[in-house]
Amino acid sequence: MSPNQSWRQLAEQASVETDSAKLFEIVSELNRVLGERDETSPQKRPHGNEPKSYCA
């Protein structure tokens, strides 16, 4: 897998892969790419805008 593949390309490959070993590799790479994207995303939530959780 090329390190320059987008997460969309990896997701497409994962959706049609039938070999479990190859699928594991693709999903591992997809997780890595998405993790890096989240870490560098400028669209992080501003402080105080976290999702609300309600207790019963």
The alpha carbon of residue 40 and the mean position of all alpha carbons in its chain are separated, in whole angstroms, by 13
Is 53 part of a structural domain of the chain?
no
Residue 19 lies in a domain: yes
Give the chain's domain count.
1
* Both structure tokens of 36: 């890096």
Lowest mean pLDDT among 4-8, 31-35, 51-55: 51-55
Q: Does 24 reside within a domain?
A: yes
pTM above 0.85, yes or no: no
Asked if the structure places residue 49 within a domain, the reply is: no
Q: Where in the sequence is the domain holding 25, given as residue range(s)? A: 7-40
Domain-located, residue 15:
yes
The span from the CA of 56 to the CA of 44, in Å, is: 29
The pLDDT tens digits for 16-52 are: 999 999 999 999 999 999 888 777 766 655 555 566 6
Beta strands in 5-55 (DSSP E): none
Gap between the Cα atoms of 39 and 56, Å rounded: 33
CB within 8 Å of 7: residues ≥ 6 apart: 30, 33, 34, 37
Q: Which residue has the higher pLDDT, 43 or 14?
A: 14
